Structure 1
Amino acid sequence: MSSIPHAELEAFRTEFPILQTRTYLNSCSLGALSRRSMGYLGEYQALWNTMGASAWYELWMGRIGQLKQTVATMWNADEKEIALSPSVSGALSSIASAIDYTKRNKIVVAELDFPTLVYQWLARNDVEVVRVPSDDGIGVPPERWAEYVDERTALVATSHVFYGTGYVQDLAPIAKAARDAGALFLVDGYQSAGQIRVDPRAVDADIYVAGPLKWLCGGPGIAFLWVRQERIAELRPTIASWFGARDQFQFRNDELEFRDDAGRFSMGTPAVPTVYTALGGLEIFAEAGQDRIYERIAALTEDVVTLAQEAGFELKIAEDPARRSGIVLIRNDDAPAAVRRLADKNIIVDHRAGYVRVSPHFYNTPEENRKFIAALRG
């Protein structure tokens, strides 16, 4: 009998066409596309073909609002704290432009963070970027952050889950280090939203960014930005879009008044097709149940870890299972070639820096884990 919980969630496999022809274990790169999302995308196309621009005012703006409310509910937040952006880069650019660096010009990040998170500040010549080192290349001891954060620190920015190791950070000590120094705390949740619980206020973040591309199965073109209500008024961007303006449909071009809510950080017209596909993914996510999804991903992850270790593979993962997420790195001398060979067998995974990267989602099965490990051994 399988020890993987919530076998009832396998009923959702029929929602994802790729699972009918492939063993898809690469959700940390791109979540599978659902029939629900494809149907909603067809609805969007039909509205464009029948209503034209009037669809904007009568329906599409409502769908944008629905997406923001859905994200707010999922994150235990207020809709006024949620903004949409074309990408995490766009969201971070807006936030970066709103910070005063004249008295505090130090940004603290982790050396294991995804480049996008760091590039926003490396591109500036008025800040110093300090990277907190890792001893093992897997995680960063949470107590270490306090050593690098001081009265010059404007922002502490780091990942909830490290993309290259799947390591889940303990955010509370990092938040405390930022708070004690009077710095803002920003969390990149692009690899966490959809596979572990996200509650930005509970982890004492000021800013949290994520998107539907990966574990939320909504596709590219939109990012979700949460800004703590108490911080919004003090953060005034110096880059702007008409979606960030108060009373945007007054079309004033002689003055700019920002919205009072997190919408002030919106970067341009949202990608309406992705609004629709994201709603499809989030709808399935809600129906499947967050807690059930998280429990199943954790069990499938431990299953693939056990199978890989029994097969003699070297893994790059956290020693403590509590710090693991649904991303497993398996050492391979020629990881790109291994990924290509697996693809020839209709097994889809990815690779990073000498490792094959596998990421089981709630719609995967223990049988697929075994099939993957057997093929990788072969």
Structure 2
Amino acid sequence: MIRARGPKRGGGDVVEDAVQVRVGQPHGTASGTATGTVRSHRPLARPGPGAAGPRPSRAPGVFGPPRGSVCVSAAPLRSRFPILEEETYLASHSLGAVPASAKEALEGYHEAWARQGIGAWEGPWAEAIATFNEQIAGILGAPEGTVAPMLNATRGMAGVASALDPSQGRDKIVMTDLEFTTSYPLWRGFEELGAEIEVVESPDGVRVPAEAIADAVDESTLLVHTCQVYFRSGALQQLEPVVEAAREAGAYSLVDGYQSVGVVPVDVAELGVDFFVGGSHKWLCGGPGAGYLYVREDVAEELDPRLRGWFGLADPFAYEQLEGRGPPAEGARRFLGGTPNVPGLVAAREGLEAIREVGLDRIRQRSLDLTDRILVHADAQDLTVRTPREEDRRGGMVCLDFEGAEQATDELAEQGIVVDWRPDCGIRVSPHFYNTEDEIDELFGALARIRG
């Protein structure tokens, strides 16, 4: 149980203001870069895909000034997130802090429903769906028409799976043993259709070398699936060699970005990945039920997903049940099922706007500064770190372990410090752009007292 505390002061700094359609075998070795116009409210500054570039090193045990990030007072941004007034919130890897404005957005959703009835569909609700697609496309660097809303990442993966056919010569699915839990039952179910699952094992429980994944790819591979950041360790995967290995073998590539998008920049068009799934309720501060699926333009046009509902049809109102499955919509829309989760998309809009306003490059730099501070504290207290220390190999989360870590998580919660604990991982700590150096120091001061 988390005990509410009185308002807390936000010290420290934060980032400044802020084709022939067919059921699928792979697409050969066509170029991996999608083209098109990115629709977003305004351009997002991004480093290259995967992570920020090299940054100067800092001497162990020394807190220096932030490197590469522009900082101002915490108050202007922190005041938008009510939980920060009550808790030291360091669990954005699990559920991001929600902006206060999300409440007003949801009230607007209800007002449109109450006042307009069916007319809401042609006005604010249709606009909410289009806005969500534009916001996600801007964050991912995705061309127009390549993103579709999904209830969650699992639904996005299922849509991809429904477009593949392991009985046509390619039957191997390559994945690692560090993927998020949802991936295994989904792809294991694909074995019943004749697929073979090859799981590449991590040598240390923290990361899986990209070369090991690439080595598992061969002419029998149908799909390569991996995460950009692994949920058990916060390790940041090198995606380029994995995507390239899949492309060269004529296989598809799918990346799960749930633990990365919003804190680690990615450009899906530049990366050349075929499918990219994720959701809004972690680093994007958007809440549940607002997932998404990106499908590369040329790949979408060559696939015909079986898991398709009326929103995935070219013209839902012209469909006749005797015509079979009906012609699919263009682009990623053909992967849609039924009615999108409009209130989830409306709620997510506010967090996505905050991410856009701050900027992904600044968020990444800020995250590296704060996670550096965590590592310095962890070393000073002789804690086991289960996250890569290299800046280009870690996401926004640091995993700390020691005897009694699970119990310590509960004790921290009683003091109003929110983190979480997982087996084979330890305590997961994830500062975001709205957190401060003081909060990192508060966490470790509490840990020192708890551990005696």
TM interval, short-chain normalised? over 0.9
- 1:146-295 matches, within 5 Å, as 146-250=214-318, 252-255=320-323, 256-295=326-365
In structure 1, what residue type is equivalent to 2:448? Answer: R
Structure 2 vs 1, CA of residues 337 and 119 (structure 1 numbering), >3 Å: closer, same or farther? Answer: same
Aligned residue in 2 for 1:366: 437
Inter-partner Cα distance in structure 2 for 1:275 and 1:251: 27
More deviation, 339-348/72-81: 72-81
Structure richer in helix, relative to its length: 1
Q: Secondary structure at the match of 2:271?
A: coil
| 1:45-124 pair list within 5 angstroms | 45-102=110-167, 103-124=169-190
Matching residue of 1:43? 108
5+ unaligned residues in a row in structure 1: which ranges?
none
Q: Secondary structure at the match of 1:100?
A: coil
TM-superposed deviation, 1:130: 0.7
What CA distance in whole angstroms lies between the structure 2 residues aligned with 1:84 and 1:170? 26
Separation in 2, partners of 1:107, 1:9 = 48
Work out whether 1:348 is the aligned partner of 2:418.
yes
Cα deviation code 1:234-278 (max 9, x no counterpart): 211112111111112446433322102110111321111111111
Tell me the equivalent position of 1:3. 65
Give the Å deviation of 1:85: 1.0
Greater CA deviation, 310-319 or 103-112?
A: 310-319
Letter in 1 for 2:84: L
Corresponding letter in the other structure for 2:371: T
Deviations along 1:303-339, one digit per CA (max 9) or x if unpaired, are 1111111121111011422211111111033333211
CA distance in 2, matches of 1:350, 1:231: 38
Is the contact made by 1:9 and 1:288 (CA closer than 8 Å) also made in structure 2? Answer: no
TM-score (norm 2): 0.81
Distance 1:346 1:2, change over 3 A: farther
Identity over aligned residues, as a percent?
38
Determine if contact 1:145/1:174 at 8 Å carries over to the other structure.
yes
- Pick 1 or 2: higher relative contact order, CA cutoff 8 A, min separation 6: 2
Q: Which runs of 5+ in 2 are unaligned?
A: 1-62
For 2:73 and 2:252, how far apart are their aligned partners in 1? 39
Q: Please identify the structure whose Cα radius of gyration is greater.
A: 2
Map of 1:320-335 to 2, 5 A cutoff? 320-335=390-405
Query: Which amino acid in 2 is paired with 1:80?
Result: G
Find the aligned partners of 2:289 and 2:321 in 1 and give their Cα distance: 27
What CA distance in whole angstroms lies between the structure 2 residues aligned with 1:181 and 1:286? 36
| Contact 1:85 1:268 survives alignment (8 Å) | no
Distance (whole Å) between structure 1 residues aligned to residue 444 and residue 399 of structure 2: 12
Counterparts of 2:221 and 2:289 in 1: how far apart (Å)?
32
Separation in structure 1 between the aligned mates of residue 146 and residue 413 of structure 2, nearest angstrom: 41
Query: SS in structure 2 opposite 1:329?
Result: strand
CA distance in 2, matches of 1:267, 1:24: 35
Counterpart secondary structure, 1:115:
coil
Between 229-238 and 14-23, the greater mean CA deviation after superposition: 229-238
Q: How many residues align?
A: 378
Deviations 1:47-91, CA, capped at 9 Å, x for gaps: 122222221122201110111012112222122101111111111
Distance 1:267 1:328 in 2: 36
For residues 181 and 163 of structure 2, the distance between their equivalents in structure 1, rounded to whole angstroms, comes to 20
Cα distance change on mapping 1:129 and 1:328 into 2, 3 Å: same
- Is the contact between residue 143 and residue 269 of structure 2 (CA under 8 Å) also seen in structure 1? no
Give the Cα separation in 1 of the matches to 2:216 and 2:232: 22
1:137 equivalent to 2:208? Answer no
3-state SS of paired residue (2:270): coil
Cα deviation, 1:5-26, whole Å, max 9, x if unaligned, reads 4332722100000000000000
Q: Write the deviation string for residues 129-166 of structure 1: whole angstroms up to 9, x where unpaired.
A: 11111111111111112321111110000000011111
Distance 1:267 1:166 in 2: 32
Deviation at 1:198, TM superposition (A): 1.6
Q: For 1:75 and 1:223, how far apart are their aligned partners in 2?
A: 13
CA-based RMSD: 1.5
Task: Check whether the contact 1:90–1:267 (CA below 8 A) recurs between aligned residues.
Answer: no
8 Å contact kept, 2:260–2:396: no
Deviation for aligned residue 1:43: 0.9
CA distance in 1, matches of 2:319, 2:166: 32
What do residues 85-111 of structure 1 show as CA deviations (whole Å, max 9, x unaligned)? 111111111100101211111100011
Q: Is the 8 A contact 2:81 2:100 kept in 1?
A: yes
Structure 1-normalised TM-score? Answer: 0.96
